[in-house]
Structure 1
Amino acid sequence: MSNKVKLGLGIGALILAGSIVTTAMAGETSEPGSQEDPLVTKSYVDQQINLLKQSGLPSGQPTDGEETVKVAQIIVLNLKAGDLLVGNTGTEMILRAGTATAYSKDANGIPDVTGATDLKNGTKIPLNHQLIYPRNDGRGVKIVSGTAVFMVRGEYEVISEQKE
């Protein structure tokens, strides 16, 4: 064999040996139960969960400058003809049954996110379309006839026909 071939085989063997050692060292894991990977008992886990509960973290109480996030529940409303359902900022509504039209005191429409459009004053509300109110400016839906069923999440006001 020539010296160049011997030198190439020697360098290749050194590279192979180095990669084997590196791989073996990287593959080492901590022994279960050691300080790096401790085993814990159920009582310890229960104790830590109770500490978290006492700190208020699971209940949504703010800690260390965090803000509480409240998720509004969906309310089902049965409204009658002539009622006006007005949404506040961020309120979501879905007409499940009945007939209603969009209501606005000005040119602003109600964003219909399902239909990707703005529903202008007097436009019929499609069933099962999600409406989201961007501002607290009096926009809402007017019940046209019979009974309408709405799912509502967020703040709202129902104005009966008698009050107008």
Structure 2
Amino acid sequence: MKKNKSLILLGLSSALFLSSMVTTSQAEAPAPGFSSDPVITKSYFDQNTLSEAKVKDLIASALAANAGTSQPSGSNGGSDTTATTAAMTVVQMKPGQTLYAGAGAEFIVRSGNVIAVSSDENGIPDVTGGKDIAAGSEIATNHLLIFPRDGRGIKPAAKNTADIYVMVRGNYLLMNQDGSTATP
């Protein structure tokens, strides 16, 4: 009984579909190439698509147009409020130095053992690890750190023997152990 009802419904829907197709005249058909007619011809497609060379030309011209509007790159200056670009700077730390971040700066420790430094009880957000790193805690390499405020940074761990390289985006201040400003 269920099979018969299914076959009857299928037959009725097919008949309705076919009858609607037969009653549509050529005069009622939409013009090719419009949104009411999504099927296109190969020649229309070839005329209205971008080639790889055309895309490269468009990108090159857009980059050339924006070449004169880039902002100055990051500086070493702690709380300096100058604008920075998206470029990252590689900083090499020596034993006894501390690398302080400006507000909004980002660090990625690429090599060496470092620990977190903070002038208050707040830690450093480790975006990769999904946690806050408290002052004095070791920082894993290749983790993205974001510094919401000035006064936080990193310094070499006591057990460190390797060269320390840090990728930095934003403002920073590299200080020697005696409190003088180091040059990167």
Structure 1 length as normaliser, TM-score?
Answer: 0.63
CA contact (8 A) 2:102 2:147 kept: yes
* 1:160 equivalent in structure 2: 176
Shift in Å, 1:104 = 0.5
Contact 1:102 1:142 in 2 (8 A): yes
Counterpart of 2:105 in structure 1 is 91
Q: How many residues align?
A: 140
Q: CA deviation at 1:60?
A: 6.6
Structure showing the higher strand proportion among its residues:
1
Q: CA deviation at 1:158?
A: 0.4
Separation in 2, partners of 1:129, 1:12: 60
In the alignment, which residue of structure 1 is the partner of 2:69?
Answer: 61
Q: In 2, distance between residues paired with 1:15 and 1:28?
A: 19
The Cα of 1:23 is off from its aligned counterpart by 6.4
Specify whether residues 17 and 113 from structure 1 end up closer, same or farther in structure 2 by C-alpha distance, changes over 3 A only.
same
Q: Percent identity?
A: 32
- 1:66-110 alpha-carbon deviations (Å, 9 max, x no partner): xxx964222222211221111112211111221211011111100
Letter aligned with residue 127 of structure 2: V
Instruction: Decide which of 138, 143, 149 is 2:151's aligned counterpart.
Output: 138
The alignment yields a C-alpha RMSD, in angstroms, of 4.1
- Name which of 67, 70, 79 aligns with 2:93: 79
Q: Give a deviation string over 1:141-162, Cα, whole Å, max 9, x none.
A: 1123443221212221101112
Instruction: Tell me how far 1:56 sits from its aligned partner.
Output: 2.9
Change (3 A) 1:117 1:162: same
AA aligned to 1:94 is I
Where does the alignment leave 5 or more consecutive residues of structure 1 unmatched? Answer: 1-10, 40-44, 63-68
Q: What SS class does the counterpart of residue 17 from structure 1 fall into?
A: helix
- Structure 1 CA distance, aligned partners of 2:101 and 2:88? 13
Query: Which stretch of structure 1 is more off in the superposition, 152-161 or 102-111?
Result: 152-161
Q: Deviations over 1:11-63 (max 9, x none)?
A: 87762234464367526759969xxx689xxxxx7xx96xx56x934x2739x
1:17 and 2:22 matched: yes
Q: Which moved more, 1:16-25 or 1:86-95?
A: 16-25
Structure 2's unaligned 5+ residue stretches are 1-15, 71-82
